Amino acid sequence: MDEFVDDLIIAKKIAAMTDCHAKPGEPDTHFALLRILSAAYHQSKGGKGQERHGNGKPFDKQPIMEIARMVGVGGQTFQICKKAQEATTMVERGQLDAAKHELLGAIVYAAAAVLLIEEKQGERK
Lowest mean pLDDT among 2-16, 81-95, 99-113: 2-16
- Span 40-85, pLDDT tens digits: 998 888 866 667 777 788 999 999 999 999 999 999 999 999 999 9
- Span 5-22, pLDDT tens digits: 666 666 666 666 555 566
Q: List the chain domain ranges.
A: 1-46, 56-125
User: Is this model's pTM higher than 0.85 or not?
Assistant: no
**CA 97, CA 99: separation in Å to the nearest integer?**
5
What is the number of H-type helices and E-type strands within the chain? 6, 0
Q: Does residue 101 have a pLDDT over 90?
A: yes
- Give how far Cα 64 sits from Cα of 37, 39, 88, 119, Å: 18, 18, 23, 14
Q: Please tell me the predicted confidence (pLDDT) of residue 108.
A: 95
Phi-psi region of 25 (alpha: psi -120 to 50; beta: other; left: phi over 0): left
